[in-house]
Amino acid sequence: MNLRKSVHTITSSTVGILYPKQCCLCQKELSIEEHYVCLPCSYDLPFIEHKSIEAKQAEKIFWGRIPIEGVYSLFNYQKGNQVQQLLHEIKYKRKLKMGQFYGQLLAEQISDSTIDLIIPLPLHPKKERKRGFNQSKIIAKGIADKLNLPINTKCVKRTAHTLSQTQMTKYDRWDNVRSIFELNQATTISNKHVLLVDDVLTTGATLESCAMSLLEGQNVKVSVATLAVRL
């Protein structure tokens, strides 16, 4: 008898009994077919339908600011709603597989076949080391798997931690947007359509700043995909 194998089997089944998988929204035990969120809670999630009014509103966030080809979001984020809880689980409770799972669902919304590569919004390297991962990379991986596209994490770097308060306000942005990103390998994205990925789109200031750096490349197009958008 392979003792090591049987110990493993016992341990994993015991863990299964002690900690059955629960819906991260209502804590109900999940069936084998349910992933992360139970079916009734999934029905209540504020999904954004492709080409809906909400999808149009998301695109409008960047209007008059920066040329963005397309904006794709899976959920409508409101303070205190289920989506805030989902994002919290991914970002702060390290539910990385769950981030990938919703990244795959987000990929189903992306109809533009001209996209060449995926770039997750970079975190500052110090912040990424501290957190242990970058949630945008996790979501990007889900999208990349589904669309069979490459991910590039090298060509744009974050050189500052966050935008200042002034830069976050919508109205002063043209005066104040100081680039906090740096395009490294401009030729990698020459003549490419890049999909820039983040967890949530709110004012769009950080994504705008990163897209500005990407657009310094030659004949580059940028689209944006986020798990959620605050409308």
Does residue 86 interact with Zn ion by CB under 5 A? no
> Closest separation between CB of residue 85 and Zn ion, Å?
11
Q: Return the number of the residue (42 or 188) whose C-beta is nearest Zn ion.
A: 42
**Least distance CB 23 / Zn ion (angstroms):** 3
- Least CB distance from residue 43 to Zn ion, whole Å? 10
| Nearest CB to Zn ion, comparing residues 24 and 68 | 24
State in angstroms the smallest separation of the CB of 42 from Zn ion.
8
Q: For residue 38, state whether it binds Zn ion (rule: CB under 5 A).
A: yes
Q: Is residue 39 part of the contact set for Zn ion (CB under 5 A)?
A: no
Which amino acid is residue 132, in one-letter code?
Answer: G
Residue of 15, 26, 53, 160 that binds Zn ion (CB under 5 A): 26
Within 10 angstroms of residue 83's Cβ, the number of other Cβ atoms is 23
Asked if 196 interacts with Zn ion (CB under 5 A), we say: no
Tokens of 141: 């991986």
Q: How far is CA 132 from CA 28, 84, 135, 207, in A?
A: 29, 21, 10, 22
Q: What is the rounded CA–CA span in Å between residue 108 and residue 72? A: 10
Stretch that binds Zn ion, among 10-18, 20-28, 74-82, 110-118 (CB under 5 A): 20-28
Q: Does 98 bind Zn ion (CB under 5 A)?
A: no
Q: If we measure between CA atoms, which residue out of 226, 212, 202, 214 comes closest to residue 138?
A: 226
166, 205, 188, 199: which is closest to 99 by C-alpha? 199
What count of Cα atoms within 13 Å lies in the side-chain half-sphere of residue 12? 5
Binding-site ranges for Zn ion (CB under 5 A): 23, 25-26, 28, 38, 41
